[in-house]
Amino acid sequence: MTVEITTDPPDESRDTTDAEVLATVVAAESVLSKRFGARIQLGEPEDLGGSDRSVVLRVRVAASPFSLPRTLAVKRYVPTGTAPRDSWVREAVSYQMFNALAAEDRMCPELFAHDGDAGLLVMEDLGRAPTLADKLHGSDSRAAEAALLSWARSLGRLHATTAGREADFDALLRRLSPPATKDPLAEDGPIAIADLPRLLAAEFGVTTSDRVAARAISTLGLLDTARHRAFSPSDTCPDNNLITSRGVRFLDFEGGCVRNMMFDAAAIAVPFPSCWCAFALPAGMVEAMIAAWRAEVRAMWPDLAEDAVLLPRLLDAHLFWVWLATWRHLSDPVAARVASRHSGPTPDPGPLLAGRWTGLATAARRGGADAVAEHAIAVARALRVRFGDAPLPLYPAFSS
């Protein structure tokens, strides 16, 4: 087999080696051949930019006795010593669940083959569509606004479509040796909520009252509640969402799970709390996005049409995310940013964190949680004293 390596470098800090590309192509050929029972040849691999633990390629189907697409996307987890098995399982199960849905409800690439021993996924190639990040870092504010609203509506539709499918998801997990913790937020979340008051006191001299600490601890109940559960991509970072002619398509399900969807709704409100590449949005944009998401989910959960039901839960998830992101940064700022695994421009962490605490204060004040608001204002003030008063800049599409 001759493999021609394309010369375009990936937009990623870790360069993919020729040996990794070759190994990924060979593994994909083997998995596809086993899946379809005949030899399938792949060629012309193009590096799409993976991460510190994965290689992602676009490959051409050079020879196949079956009717396969002209190109495919291949993702292979590479051994890094960080045990990526759980991430592979979550991602494989997520795509399998969507494969079982009708084509019009499949809001992600179709999965053609997978192999746990090789840590491999072979998927539909969605082409060269722009990501949500591309729109936000472009120069067209109307296109960026339309993309954000489309993404929020699509997220709500994804939740409504996958409601009631937790048993199916769990059954698929059991077939692939499920992770010890189904929801990744349950790993760091309780630790972050318990430890952040200590870090805030040690780093900034900010005291957390028992009342605020108790409210933060209560947010952990969202991890276990049986209400409002649906599939979550987990990582809602803008570069994990393609804006295609068929609508938004979600990518990167390394943390895919079924959980309380308020965590995803709060990811709109924060916004994008799982990554460090988030900039500010213009006034009113978050509210419009929440409304777009809500319009899709309230048909499945009519109670979410009531502010008295939605807003307290949304505030709890908002608080959870801000505390978790801050704890991750204060515990190990380098590890927190590396774990984000996203390319492209990133703001300074100080303005980003201060902006998130200010946003939490606004949401808490609006929700009547005055103690939470006052604490959030104190933390935001301490962050600005430490890192400077520069505000978090707007995404480039909205800054001109």
Residue 9 DSSP label: P
The arithmetic mean of pLDDT across residues 114-141, rounded, is 95
pLDDT of residue 17: 86
The arithmetic mean of pLDDT across residues 367-376, rounded, is 98
Burial of 343 (0-12, 13-18, 19+ CB in 10 A): middle
pLDDT of residue 336: 52
Q: Which of 215, 290, 230, 236 is nearest to 260 (CA)?
A: 230
Q: Residue 9 above 70 pLDDT?
A: no
pLDDT of residue 11: 37
Using DSSP bridges, classify how beta strands 54-63 and 41-47 pair: parallel, antiparallel or unpaired. antiparallel
Secondary structure element (H or E) that encloses residue 30, with its range = helix 18-36
230: phi then psi, degrees, rounded to nearest 5: -160, 175
Non-local CB neighbours of 199 within 8 Å, separated by 6+ positions:
326, 327, 330, 331
Residue 148 near residue 284 (C-beta atoms within 8 A): no
44: phi then psi, degrees, rounded to nearest 5: 50, 55
pLDDT of residue 80: 63
Q: Residue 59 above 60 pLDDT?
A: yes
- What is the CATH architecture of 18-124? 2-Layer Sandwich (3.30)
Q: Which of 23, 75, 83 is nearest to 50 (CA)?
A: 75
pLDDT of residue 7: 31
Q: Which of 67, 55, 69 is nearest to 27 (CA)?
A: 55
The arithmetic mean of pLDDT across residues 19-46, rounded, is 93
pLDDT digits (tens, 9 = 90+) for 168-197: 999 999 999 888 888 999 999 999 999 999
Instruction: Name the residue ranges covered by the structural domains of the chain.
Output: 18-124, 132-399
pLDDT of residue 82: 52
Residue 292 near residue 147 (C-beta atoms within 8 A): no
3 state SS for 159-215: HHHHCCCHHHHHHHHHHCCCCCCCCCHHHHHHHHHHHHHHHHHHHHCCCCCHHHHHH
Which of 118-122, 331-335, 361-365, 375-379 has the weakest average pLDDT?
A: 331-335
Q: Which residue has the higher pLDDT, 129 or 335?
A: 129
Assign 49 a pLDDT band (cuts: 50, 70, 90).
confident
Q: What is the CATH code for 132-399?
A: 3.90.1200
Mean pLDDT estimate for the chain: 91
pLDDT digits (tens, 9 = 90+) for 288-309: 999 999 999 999 999 999 999 9
Opening angle at CA 202, ends 200 and 206, nearest 5: 45
pLDDT of residue 216: 98
pLDDT of residue 259: 97
- Would you call 122 helix, strand, or coil by DSSP? strand
pLDDT digits (tens, 9 = 90+) for 237-291: 999 999 999 999 999 999 999 999 999 999 999 999 988 889 999 999 999 999 9
Which neighbouring-strand residues pair with 58?
A: 46, 73
The DSSP line for 270-321 is TT-TT-S---B--TTHHHHHHHHHHHHHTTT-GGGGSHHHHHHHHHHHHHHH
Peptide bond connecting 109 to the previous residue in cis, omega within 30 degrees of 0: no
pLDDT digits (tens, 9 = 90+) for 60-74: 999 887 788 999 999
Tokens of 199: 């870090």
pLDDT of residue 65: 79
The percent of residues above 70 in pLDDT, for the chain, comes to: 92
pLDDT of residue 342: 57
Taking the alpha carbons of 239, 346, 88, 72 in that order, is the dihedral positive or negative? Answer: positive
Q: Residue 4 above 50 pLDDT?
A: no
- Would you call 119 helix, strand, or coil by DSSP? coil
Assign 335 a pLDDT band (cuts: 50, 70, 90).
low
